[in-house]
A = this chain, B = another copy of it.
Amino acid sequence: MASGKVMAMRDAVARFVHDGDTVVIEGFTHLICFAAGHEIIRQRRRDLTLARLTPDLIYDQMIAAGCARKLVFSWAGNPGVGSLHAFRRALEGKSAGGGGLEIEEYSHFGMVARFSAGAARLPFWPLRNYMGTDLPTANPRIRSVTCPYTGEVLATVPALNPGVTIVHAQRADVAGNTQMWGLLGVQKEAAFASARVIVVVEELVEEDVIRSDPNRTVIPGMIVSAVVVEPWGAHPSYAQGYYDRDNDFYVAWEGVSRDPDRLARYLEEFVYGVPDRAGYMNKQPHLAARLKAKARLSQGVNYGF
């Protein structure tokens, strides 16, 4: 190994995710790193500020497990299915603790703009938005700025610079040069905005593979702290070209999440009860066959001169 960055998930989380951190596990439906969320739960991190456009099932699990002090988000639901009930219990005051979760809420564009500002190391980002909505009342961090050319008043959001961002990707080399395809979400911006970046990949590849198609590289090694090789690490979300989205799991989550006891049993069995993602997959031997991607290869392009 030419690089000290390649490590087990356990070690990456132990070294780079600390109590009290702002943690981002990004990915819009695609490439959401459930494996990292589970390891954070296993290592019992506390007082995290969890930021992400769509908290999804993984943040619902982390909230249920007591990792989160605060949630920064723009859409908190189970896409196409229903609610994130641990999240709702925390806010609707029905949880045992009586709703201990702080929230800071934007729209998708606002969250994207926060990451864009963070990535460019600007303190704010301007956008034409939020006129007529109650969002700025609910969140006084949405402010405005006057254009020095036209006098127009534009909305602003503040930069978001996480302590650690975790990005799941199809492949990377040992130095952390990372390639992704399919939906790219806001991962590039979140990674560049972050103090530390953990890249989790389906496959570790030779540097030559990366160099054969440099336009596919989304995250350069220089900003990457750790590379974790964790096949199926995005399940029940998906990895284009590797495995499909497990819609059955999303549908089933409605019932699990709605019942705190079932949710606790889920965490016991599939998170605390396994040492790592390999253990998680071994418990569900039929998953791979059901979800493995079919081949639909793109043609190569010529980089010659």
Contact = CB atoms under 8 A, between A and B. Distances in A.
A299 B181 CA distance: 13
A262 interface: no
B152 A123 contact: yes
Contacts of A61: none
A132 to B, nearest CB: 18
A238 B305 CA distance: 8
Contacts of A241: 301-305
A299 B123 contact: no
A126 interface: yes
A176 interface: no
Contact of A301 (B126, B145, B298): B298
B298 A181 contact: no
Interface residues of A, number: 50
- The oligomer's copy count stands at 2
A215 B180 CA distance: 9
Contacts of A158: 149
A289 to B, nearest CB: 15
A156 B242 CA distance: 44
A96 interface: no
A215 B188 CA distance: 14
Interface string A269-305: 0000000000000000000000001111111111111
A299 B148 contact: no
A250 interface: no
Interface in A247-269: none
Nearest to A157: B149
Q: Which 6 A-B pairs have the closest CB atoms?
A: A241-B302, A296-B304, A213-B298, A297-B300, A143-B148, A298-B300
Interface of A: 121-124, 126-128, 141, 143-150, 152, 154, 156, 158-159, 170, 181-182, 184, 209, 212-213, 215-216, 238, 240-245, 293-305
5 contacts: A209-B299, A241-B303, A245-B305, A293-B302, A299-B300
